[in-house]
Amino acid sequence: MGDDLPRTIAPSSRVRAALVVSVIAALAAAFAAATHESAALVGWLAAATAFAVTFAAGARARELRASDVLREPRTRPGPTAAEALPDDVTRRGVFDRFWGLAAGALTLLAVVPFVALARAPRSNGTFWKAGTRLVTPDGTPLRVDDLAVGGIETVFPEGHLTSYESTAVLLRLPPTVAVEGEHGDWVRDGNIAYSKICTHAGCPVALYRQESLELYCPCHQSVFDVVHGARPVSGPATRALPQLALDVDDSGYLIARGDFDTPVGPDSWGRTT
Amino acid sequence: MIARRVTRFFDERFGSNAAVRFAVTKIFPDHWSFYLGEFALYSFALLVATGVWLTFVYDPSPAAAYDSVVALSRATPVGYLMRQVHHWSAVVFVAAILLHMARIFVTGAFRKPRELNWVVGFLLLILASVTGFTGYSLPYDVLSGTGLRIADSVLLAVPFVGGFLENVFNGGAFPGPLLLSHLYTFHVYFLPVSIAALLAAHLGMMVFQKHTQFANEPGSVVGRRMWPDYALRATAAFAITVGVILALASTLEINPIDEYGPYNGWTVPNPATPDWYAAFLDGALRLGPAIELRLFGHPIPALFWPGVVMPTIVLAVLICWPWIDARFTRDARAHDVLESASDRPWRVGFGSALVCAGILLTLAAGDDQQALAMHVPVEALLRLYQLLVPFGSLAVGWVAFVFARQVAARRRVGELAAERVVGLRRNEVGGFDAEAPETAA
């Protein structure tokens, strides 16, 4: 055992100087902070304090010549050193498996409060109903011609601007593009609307590749074919974006004809539709 | 002397000099790589110090969270620095843990009797990453809000209990009213206290079992004394950790949330990439196959495989590594002397393959930006990464294995050559007798 204390010598002037520098830097940092100097200046002065202490500690360690390599015995509890335990500890004579069951039951009780943290049941409800107007994020209702051809706009059901699950994206297809199939009737003058929540991981499908008529999710690069029901054509998504059937009311505003055709957002075990 | 008075005060009341004597005369093996864990420890200290301060100004309600963080950053240089230092400390914390773990891995320091300390260390890595994620989500800016939505979707993708997990996470459906207060509770109470408890166990086990060493003297601890030598070195290590983090925080702005803007659910940042230590998961989500299986009519979303199954398998293998390694080496003995990395070429190979896969998945989380910069379609880059992650990692692992084996073979040849210096002496009957082999000078 290295019990003999190494010869202590007085700190050298280098060590002393470094410590003085650290004190000055710390005071300067405090002053700079109090006078609202830039954060960079405050931070660098504080860093200088730390670096000066680093230097002082390193220099002190060197000059103490304390770095002689020493040894102490290494004893380890091996199989021979393991002491035999009293019989009643190892034989489970005191606590048998029924105690284990009781302990398990108590643990289960401890979990119950955490289960109770789950409050509201998960809702897929949106505020889209037949006749609900499409409004922009600032609440302006949209007419059939408000969105320019090739344009994209985030839309909400009128009166529900913060409804997360209702978030939809309205696109205006060029007149040359025809939407065929059963959803052909869900388009009005090129206006076509889909849920903005990606069916992969729930990010807003915010980017529009105008030339190829595809919606593109910036999170994981799922690509949806706008003309063909927003079916996924590339990336990790497996399900089309829910579509909103559109119509025009008597005043010429775009309205929904009902809720989205499929559930909004990523799939889960509980979603069996 | 103050020190004498203080030690006497406590010794007369608690008999503490024996413990102090044990502590200061303890011998500590020394090597530059042993400081990696210390850097992690000191950055954790800095995290706690700055984090406590931040709790005074942060408001964990969805409506006020973002504004409270922006206000704190703008009001004073100290407020701005506190946030910057806190975030940079988290980055250094996770980085130091990973490097420390890599050192433990290649030198075989996890072997018996230290398996449990590997497990504890590994739990610390997981806790550190989760704490980091919950922490950078608290400002509720558009980037971290998007990250929360993705994490929420991954929870939702777990079979049977997904909806329940999401519900507990949010206090309802996303974005639940309790989301931030749940995160806040986790981030400032549950996770740091768990980290502190495991750290105590981690360090306690290290002191109790004594540190491993490179010196090939199994019977003794070869190193330097705690006092004054190691105390000074530890002081230097602490001060340089603080200095480097402060310098980083003052120079390179991290997570500029006032540029991102608040989260509102319908805008999204582009690029959308998480902090680097969580990026491999995001990369995996990008590369994952677009396959949704159905089990008894219930969907198993595509997210489940890269988001839950992949990390679980990797974590399970790593956490059991001491026992897997013992099985491979057929070595159940206890070891205190470290191995050199090349002693176990397949270990180096496996580790390199894993690191390579991690790096590739992390890079894949930026595939859209790379595609943009290189003027290639992102779909092509995606295919490339899908091939590179399995095959590139295997190739890198194989190269590392061969390289380590070469190094080991070359060293073995050197040792044999050194052993073969044998003196010969003519004996009486005309033959030769070998003298004792010369020991290397």
Q: What is the pLDDT of residue A2?
A: 42
Do residue B290 and residue A119 have CB atoms under 8 angstroms apart?
no
Q: What is the pLDDT of residue A217?
A: 94
Q: Does position B14 have pLDDT exceeding 90, yes or no?
A: yes
d(CA A122, CA A195): 18
Q: Does position B344 have pLDDT exceeding 90, yes or no?
A: yes
pLDDT-derived band at B195 (thresholds 50, 70, 90) equals very high
Q: Is residue A77 part of a domain?
A: no
Do residue B167 and residue A67 have CB atoms under 8 angstroms apart?
no
**A264-273, B114-123, B127-136: which range is least confident on average?**
A264-273
Q: Is residue A19 part of a domain?
A: yes
Q: Is residue A205 part of a domain?
A: yes
Mean pLDDT to the nearest integer, B132-150: 94
- Give the pLDDT confidence of A201-220 residue by residue, as tens digits: 999 999 999 999 999 999 99
The CATH number that applies at residue A245 is 2.102.10.10
Q: What is the pLDDT of residue B174?
A: 86
H or E segment and range at residue A35: none
H or E segment and range at residue A160: none
Mean pLDDT to the nearest integer, B351-363: 97
Do residue B76 and residue A36 have CB atoms under 8 angstroms apart?
yes
Nearest chain B residue to A47 by CA distance is B243
Nearest chain A residue to B293 by CA distance is A238
Same domain, A142 and A259: yes
Q: What is the pLDDT of residue B65?
A: 94
pLDDT-derived band at A20 (thresholds 50, 70, 90) equals very high
Q: Is residue A40 part of a domain?
A: yes
- Give the closest-approach CA distance of A204 to chain B in angstroms: 6
Mean pLDDT to the nearest integer, B349-356: 97
Do residue B220 and residue A73 have CB atoms under 8 angstroms apart?
yes
Same domain, A139 and A110: no
DSSP state of A101: H
Q: What is the pLDDT of residue B85?
A: 97
- Give the closest-approach CA distance of A19 to chain B in angstroms: 12
Q: Does position A266 have pLDDT exceeding 70, yes or no?
A: yes
Q: Is residue A231 part of a domain?
A: yes
Mean pLDDT to the nearest integer, B297-307: 93
- Give the pLDDT confidence of B391-410 residue by residue, as tens digits: 999 999 999 999 999 999 99
Q: What is the pLDDT of residue A81?
A: 52
Mean pLDDT to the nearest integer, B403-418: 89
- Give the closest-approach CA distance of B113 to chain A in angstroms: 9
Q: What is the pLDDT of residue B76?
A: 82
Q: What is the pLDDT of residue A1?
A: 40
Q: What is the pLDDT of residue A237?
A: 96
Q: Is residue A154 part of a domain?
A: yes
Q: Whole-number mean pLDDT of chain B?
A: 92
Same domain, A56 and A145: no
Q: Is residue A247 part of a domain?
A: yes
Domain boundary among A53, A84, A117: A117
Which residues of chain B does A154 touch, with a Cβ-Cβ cutoff of 8 Å?
A: 266-267
Nearest chain B residue to A221 by CA distance is B286
d(CA A83, CA A227): 77
pLDDT-derived band at A238 (thresholds 50, 70, 90) equals very high
Same domain, A104 and A180: no
Query: What is the CB neighbour count within 10 angstroms for residue B225?
Result: 25
DSSP state of A245: -
Domain boundary among A84, A117, A150: A117
Cross-chain CB nearest to B239 (options A33, A53, A207) = A53
Same domain, A156 and A265: yes
Same domain, A265 and A138: yes
Q: Does position A273 have pLDDT exceeding 80, yes or no?
A: no
Same domain, A113 and A148: no
Same domain, A104 and A176: no
Residue range of the domain that includes A165: 134-269
Q: What is the pLDDT of residue B270?
A: 79
Here the ipTM equals 0.89
> Which of the residues A42, A111, A122 would you substitute to probe the B interface, choosing the one with the greatest number of B C-beta atoms within 10 Å?
A122
The pTM score is 0.92
Q: Does position A133 have pLDDT exceeding 50, yes or no?
A: yes
Same domain, A150 and A104: no
Q: Does position B420 have pLDDT exceeding 50, yes or no?
A: yes
Q: Say which residues have a Cβ less than 8 Å from residue B138's Cβ, sequence separation at least 6.
A: B58, B60, B65, B69, B144, B180, B183, B184, B187
Mean pLDDT to the nearest integer, A220-233: 95
The fraction of chain B above a pLDDT of 70, given in percent, is 98
d(CA B367, CA B359): 13
Higher pLDDT, B110 or B169: B110
Q: What is the pLDDT of residue A94?
A: 79
Cross-chain CB nearest to A76 (options B76, B113, B290) = B113
Q: What is the pLDDT of residue A92?
A: 64
The fraction of chain B above a pLDDT of 90, given in percent, is 76
Higher pLDDT, B269 or B87: B87
- Give the pLDDT confidence of B17-73 residue by residue, as tens digits: 999 999 998 999 989 999 999 999 999 999 999 999 999 999 999 889 999 999 988
Same domain, A55 and A146: no
Residue recorded with tokens 């059937």: A245
Contact A206, A160 (CB under 8 A): no
Using only the alpha carbons of chain B, give its radius of gyration. Answer: 27
pLDDT-derived band at A155 (thresholds 50, 70, 90) equals very high
Do residue B268 and residue A203 have CB atoms under 8 angstroms apart?
yes
Q: Whole-number mean pLDDT of chain A?
A: 88
Q: Is residue A8 part of a domain?
A: yes
Domain count, chain A: 2
Which residues of chain B does A207 touch, with a Cβ-Cβ cutoff of 8 Å?
A: 270
Mean pLDDT to the nearest integer, B128-156: 95
- Give the pLDDT confidence of A64-87 residue by residue, as tens digits: 865 578 888 887 665 555 567 777
Same domain, A186 and A249: yes
- Give the pLDDT confidence of B245-301 residue by residue, as tens digits: 999 999 999 999 988 999 998 998 878 888 899 999 999 999 999 999 999 889 999
Same domain, A140 and A218: yes
